Each structure stands twice: as structure tokens, then as C-alpha cells.
Amino acid sequence: MEHSLGTVLPLYSAIPFVGMLLSIALGPVLMPHFWHHHFGKVSVFWAAIIAIPLIIAYGQAGVYELLHVLIADYIPFIILLGALFTVGGGILLRTTLKGTTFVNAGFLAIGSILASWMGTTGAAMLLVRPFLRVNKHRKYRAFMVVFFIFMVANVGGALTPLGDPPLFLGFLHGVPFFWTLHLILPMLVVLGVLLLIYIAFDKYYLLKEKREKKVQQNNEPPQTALESGKTLEILGTQNFALLAAIIGVIIFSGSVKMAEVSILGVHLGLQDVIRNILLVAILVISWIITPKTLREENEYSWAPIQEVAYLFFGIFITMAPVLAILKAGESGALSFITAAVKEPSQYFWITGALSSFLDNAPTYLTFFSTALGQFYPGMPEATAVANLLAEHPTHLMAISAGSVFFGAVTYIGNAPNFMVRSISEEAGVPMPSFFGYMVYSICILLPVFGLVTLLFF
């Protein structure tokens, strides 16, 4: 039903999605007071702009499409984010370390390593608050958060299906769990270059702060912070067990095939329903067993996850027609895109460009299917995937890397981006606007991705 609807939807059905993106980009800049108090209503407005005509024009097919987006995609998305946000917010890293260039580079490197094994959202929620705290004395912090989003919330998740949702989808469709280790060299190149650029930025701003006489003692040699008895204390360690439980539940839902159940006409595997219930249970357990004082010291509040829930409701609903058209391939209004993609470099940039604004998981699946159709039309999926891995691995590497790396290009490219931004703003960091952030990503990330294209694709 999803694919047939995509064949008849006109291209202008993407207008509400564009309106939603422009609202997120321009609302906080042009109407900050209005946006702060009414962004949820704006999100619902754009959702209604597409949902009502979709239902009127396509009847049951339109209703099904919207219910499918909500039940199969949006609700599991928010449940997983909510569980990771709550569990991560229950772990307190108490330290007297100061945010020197060395310490900050260490945070980014460790977070990038963790991201592939506990997910970009899990790693970001675990480390963003202590990262902000050790830099509380620094005047210029926005660039730090931008690089944190680049590295921890996105690129670092490229090595395993646990790291980022599109890779998990590949795992569900027959890509072996450890096959994504093929991405280690492209990932290390991107992370290495970004870390060097970060160090240059950090040293520049430390010198600038010193000249302005706002911070006098923060560009000490790295060993000073480590040799003067600085300590690290971890509280709320019971939440690490819950974090492991979340990872286990996700692996379970992707590895086990159970009977299907129908929820309002949308068919889900029973394992997916069990996963959602268990994740909610983990969230509740974390909330109950974590002392309130610990969360207060961690500056935990529900505001960031509420903002994500409201805004991504509008994003998911308005995005549905665009994804349906893309999934229709050469039968849809965007056929000129899928028909033009042939080479690995094209897969890397097209998958990446769309993943910057659309949900990267279905975008990955769209071009994964496009590659299978290009090389093995009519062949059973299991056989086609095995042949793709053996005969055209670079194509799948390009699709995988594009969907993960390019999530860093915009605030909405990957789920944790928005949450990191919201948490940072709550901590008093004046984050760049939607387009301001893209100035960073275009000037820094796109040249690095160009280098990756030349080296690997």
C-alpha cells in the first residue's frame, strides 16, 4: 500500500515538509518568543496541512500511510529516545577536570568509540552533560557542541548495527552484523580530520579568551589537568545495566521473528511490540531507582525530549509523502533521482544529501533496494544481498557511510542532534540557528566527505 501510494502522490505533497523545515530554521530566529511558546502547535499545523488532504484524496490508503508512520515509525522512535534519554540522564559523571583542548579532544574520541556500540543517541546522552560541565568556565562553547554532534552523535556510529538505525535496518535485511566494520577506514579518516580541525578551533578560542582576559588559566599544558589530582566519579552506575538492557532489547527485536499483530490495521511483529513495552519499562525503572538529587545535579529535565517529541511528530507526518515517493522508485515523482544513481560516489552523496533532511533509516533502505534492483532485478532478497556483498561491496559501503555521516549536516539529520542542541541551550550555550549550524557543516563536513569520496568511493 505504501509503495502504490508513492506512485500517485504529486511532488507538491512535499510542500508541508519544506514548510516544517523552514519553520524549524526560521522560527527561533524571526519569532523567538512565539516559537518558544508555540513550536508544538506549529508542528501540529504542518502535520494537519498534509494529513487532512491525504485522507480526503486517498481515503483508506491515506489513513493507513499516516497510521503506519505513527505506529511503526514515530512511536518506537520516541520510546527508544525517551528510554536512552532517561537512562543516560541517570548517570552522573562528577569530575574536577577542566575543559582543556586535550580533555575535550578526549571526550570526543571516547564518545565516538562508544557510539558504535551503545548507539549515537546513547553515547551522546551519556556524555553531553559532563562535556558541558567541564567546559562551564569557557566563554566560547557553541563550536564544541557542533563537533560533539558531528563526531559522537553521528560519524562515530558507523561500525555496527547498534550504532545507527540505518545500519540496523541493513542487519535486518541480511547484512551480517560485523560487515559494517568495512567502514572503519572511511570513519577513521573523517573522525581524524574532524579531531584535528577541532583542536585548531579549540586552541584558537582559548587564545581569544586569554586575550579578552575572561579566562586566564585554561590553556595550560594538558598534563597539568591530569597530574594535579583531578578525579572522576561516576554515580548512578545502576543505569549502565539498564543501558545494556536497552541494547539487548534492540538486538532481540532484530534477531527474533515472531507472529504479526495488527494495531489499527498496521501489522507489526510481536517482537517489536515486546521491544516497545520493555523499553518503556526500562525508562520507568530508571526513573524510580535513580535518586532525584542525582538527576538534579545532572541538570536533567524533560524539556529536550518534549521538544524532540513535538517537532519530530510534524517531521514524521510531513515526511511520509516524500519517503513514499522515494520508495516508489522509478514509478514515483522523484524517479529522476533513483534512476540517475549508478556509481558508489553517487550513492554516497544522494543517500547522504537526503539523509541530511529525511529520516536516514528509510533513506538507506530506499537506496539499498535501488542497488539490489540495479544489479539483481527479480532475484530473491537473501540471494541478492549475498551477491551484493560479494560483488559490489563498495556500493553498500557508500550507502551505509552516506546515511550515517551526513546525519551530521543538519539538526534534524539524526535523532540525537536536536536533543544535544536542546540540552546545550538549557545549559546556557548559545547554539547556532538551523542555518548557522549548516554553515559549520557545509564548510567543515562537505570537504571532508569529498576527501572520503576520492579515497574510497
pLDDT digit string, tens, across residues 313-353: 998 898 888 877 877 767 777 777 777 888 999 999 999 99
Burial 256-289 (b: 16+ CB within 10 A, else e): eeeeeeeeeeeebbebbbebbebbeebbebbeee
Residue 376, classed as helix, strand or coil, is coil
Burial 425-441 (b: 16+ CB within 10 A, else e): bbbebebbbbeebbebb
Interatomic CA distance for residues 457 and 452, integer angstroms: 7
Helix (H) or strand (E) holding 261: strand 260-263
Residue 95, classed as helix, strand or coil, is strand
* DSSP notation for 187-242: HHHHHHHHHHHHHHHHHHHHHHHHHTTS-SSSS--HHHHHHS---EEEE-THHHHH
pLDDT band with cut points at 50, 70 and 90 for residue 1 = very low
Interatomic CA distance for residues 440 and 419, integer angstroms: 18
Interatomic CA distance for residues 200 and 217, integer angstroms: 18
> pTM here?
0.79
**More confident of the two residues 126 and 188:** 188
pLDDT digit string, tens, across residues 412-432: 888 788 889 988 988 888 999
Is the separation of the CB atoms in 401 and 183 below 8 Å? yes
The yes-or-no verdict on residue 3 having pLDDT over 60 is no
